[in-house]
A and B are shown apart, each in its own frame.
Chain A
Amino acid sequence: MSDNTKNKRLFTIWQTAAAVIAGAQVEKTDETDEPVLDVLHLTKSFGTKTILDDLSFHIESGEIFGLLGPNGAGKTTMIRIILDIIKSDHGSVKMFGKAFDEAFKERIGYLPEERGLYQKITVFECLKYFANLKNVKKPDDRIDFWLEKVDLIDHKKRRVSDLSKGMQQKIQLASAFIHDPDILILDEPFSGLDPVNTKIVKDIMLDLKRDGKTIILSTHQMDQAERMCDRILMINHGKKVLYGTLDQIKADYRESPVMVVEYEGDLKPIDGVTGMEDYGRYAELDIGVGTDPQDVLKNLMESVKLRRFEMKSPSLNEIFIEVVSVA
């Protein structure tokens, strides 16, 4: 154990002891190097159908973690097991370094894919009920704070049924954030939102990340996941197919790089280029394994006048489609 880790643990013990002496409630005891979430060999079947097949991964504190996969891949089942809504057949879920405890639910904010709110009560009553379930100390203040954030404070006294679908979606987001959770599990948070509200939600998520919150983002919008996620897990048929940082995944996914060029002139076959998609003024060149892109560039400059070139990495969307279609 390093001196730094020792000091950190001693400081944590001292803080805890001081809090106990002062009579304060000790709520968070996870100031360790453990991952926020550690999923090990998770397996779940419904009848004869295996939904999750020996799935293991972990999520670090303060990251935005993308949970990707096609419909029916097992994402929602996995989220429900993480939240202890349903039980796994095998495997374990550790949260903050400990086996799941019902009290952890107060530290998790959840926006399910299937949206829903009580329609016959006011926005305030609805949020207050959810806040009370999460043991929020000053619910009224928190409700006002989040309604301001999602720009719906003027609708506080209105019945939920009187609000538009987009407004209700933002109310539901507010209900997921209202208790200041450490972990946020957001299942398709942008679906149904217009560009203005999408930006509001995206900015809120980035603010929460800056505040050290951990966000699990389950989405089909690959462009959002590519821009926002630090790491991703892609599952298909309940199995892990991609896992890691985007750079790692992209590097692992395609061995031969692609060079994109805009040019003037007559493009001829070039040594070291194994495949070419030529559009007359624009071309995508597959660089062969072991070929130095610098050599390809030199050869190109001898035959055509280059206007632009870049080394293109595959988009997450392309990877998603390819991985899913192969499976």
Chain B
Amino acid sequence: MRKTLVVAKHEFLATVKTKGFILTLILPLVILLPVMFTSGYVMQIATDSPRNIGFVDETGIMQPDGIFTRFEDIGDAEHALLNDEINSFITIPPDYLETGRVVLYSTGGFFSSAPTGLIEAFIIDNLLRDLDVDEPLGDRIRRPADMERITLNEEGEVEEKQEVRFLIPYAVAILMMLSIMTTSGYLMQGIVAEKENKTVEILLSSLSPEELLTGKLIGFGSAGLLQICVWICSGTLMISLTSLAAVFQEIQISQIMILAIPYFILGYLLFAGSMACVAAPASTMKDAQQGAMVFTMMGILPIMLLGVIIAAPDSTVARVLTYIPYTAPATTLMRITLTGISVYEIAASLLILTISVLVVIKLSARIFRNAILMSGKKIRIRDIPGYLKG
């Protein structure tokens, strides 16, 4: 185990010091920082700009003011909204005092959620006009609006904005697969480089092939984990610092993050073990990359089938992809907020993935031992049984 950790430390430090790795850590920040400041600036402008909000009050409590304009019915308010006479409008039903339910109508602009603060202030002001505050009214003062959002498209139809809900899991899935592929690629490069520069034989005179492979898996995996943690932390920090938080507040980020870690670890071990299988017998990086193409394609298949998964997250295709080990990590994370994917489905997917990882690691260790010192041969499928046999 000591030697495995020596290899892991060496590979981790060698990887995190490379320009490519540092760039992958910084690049999302470089891209997201301007977005953060731009969105904050745009938000500021949006918030500070004069607003005209309509309301349809069926309680008789609300009175118009400089910002809020009364409409007698929803049809008039919708018309005004679609003609840009108002930025948005709310309907306050007759049972508002009992339910606190308020409906906000907008045209679906990205910052349309901005006036919630204004609306709450407007309602509280109206409620407090009568100073004789009873208990339900007191509650409503404290939680004045349990708001349901409805977005209208240009035709005035109600539109479901699933893309926004999908944004975080989709981003996490893409970043996770990017990290898994990058890190597995580092492992593959490391193995082939040690074959090419002939250091592998020196290493194998100090430790067993299994210890060497395990050390590499841990070292490169730790670098990948660091990468994805930095991305998640910086992403979360940026979202929390900006008004984007309001957009993402409905999405269960913690659930995604909790699942992202085991899927990352298992996915990484599966892909890295598979890459090791093709890297060990390869003589050149080109040979290894050609051999690894099939795993790469399988890894990005869920992203290529994104449209299908969004349109029908519970379809047979999406379900099958959830159970195929190479497509499970990205598919499950993308499905999770689109549909009520059951705990059993997730558990079965994780179980299949775990079993696959154990099989692949065992096979890769065997191939690694028997093929790592071979050179000058092309990778041929018919040779694999020989590598497994030894």
Contacts and interface: CB of A to CB of B under 8 A. Distances in A.
B31 interface: no
B203 interface: yes
Interface in A110-146: 110, 112, 114-119, 121, 129-130, 132-135
B206 interface: yes
B83 interface: no
B201 A114 contact: yes
A322 interface: no
A118 B386 contact: no
B207 A85 contact: no
B311 interface: no
B202 A175 contact: yes
Contacts of A85: 201, 204-205, 209, 373
B137 to A, nearest CB: 72
A105 interface: yes
A252 interface: no
Contact of A116 (B2, B6, B7, B197): B197
Contacts of A134: 206
Given A117-B197, A129-B10, A108 B205 contact: yes
A290 interface: no
Given A47-B386, A105-B206, A133 B6 contact: yes
Contacts of B204: 83, 85
Contacts of B369: 86
A118 B197 contact: yes
Given A86-B373, A87-B390, A129-B10, A115 B206 contact: no
A102 interface: yes
A119 B373 contact: no
A202 to B, nearest CB: 22
Contacts of A108: 205
Q: Which of A47, A108, A129, A172 has its CB near the most chain B CB atoms (within 10 A)?
A: A129
A31 interface: no
B290 interface: no
Nearest to B14: A121
B202 A116 contact: yes
A157 interface: no
Nearest to A110: B205
Contacts of B386: 47
Given A47-B386, A80-B373, A85-B373, A133 B198 contact: no
A11 to B, nearest CB: 32
Interface string A80-119: 1001111100000000000000100110101010111111
Nearest to B5: A132
Contacts of B207: 102, 105, 133
Interface string A265-279: 000000000000000
A175 B373 CA distance: 20
A209 to B, nearest CB: 20
B44 interface: no
B161 interface: no
Given A47-B386, A86-B373, A129-B10, A116 B198 contact: yes
B149 interface: no
A135 B2 contact: yes
B249 interface: no
A81 to B, nearest CB: 12
Contacts of B197: 116-119
Nearest to B205: A110
Contacts of A102: 207-208
A130 B198 contact: no
A162 B153 CA distance: 65
A110 B6 contact: no
A117 to B, nearest CB: 6
Contacts of B200: 116
A172 B203 CA distance: 12
Contacts of A135: 2-3
Nearest to A83: B205
A47 B389 CA distance: 11
A30 B150 CA distance: 82
Interface string B14-32: 1000000000000000000
A136 to B, nearest CB: 11
B199 interface: yes
Nearest to B375: A114
B90 to A, nearest CB: 63
B64 to A, nearest CB: 72
Contact of A132 (B6, B199, B370, B373): B6
Interface string B347-390: 00000000000000000000001100100000000000010001
A293 to B, nearest CB: 49
A116 B199 contact: yes
Interface string B102-114: 0000000000000
A112 B386 CA distance: 25
A133 B2 CA distance: 8
Nearest to A82: B205
A114 B204 CA distance: 13
B356 to A, nearest CB: 27
Given A86-B373, A117-B199, 4 more contacts: A86-B370, A116-B197, A133-B207, A134-B206
25 contacts: A47-B386, A80-B201, A80-B373, A83-B205, A85-B205, A86-B370, A86-B373, A102-B208, A112-B201, A112-B202, A114-B198, A114-B201, A115-B198, A116-B200, A116-B201, A118-B197, A118-B199, A121-B14, A129-B6, A130-B202, A132-B10, A133-B6, A133-B7, A133-B207, A175-B202
Closest 3 CB pairs of A and B: A116-B198, A110-B205, A133-B206
Interface of B: 2-3, 6-7, 10, 14, 194, 197-209, 369-370, 373, 386, 390
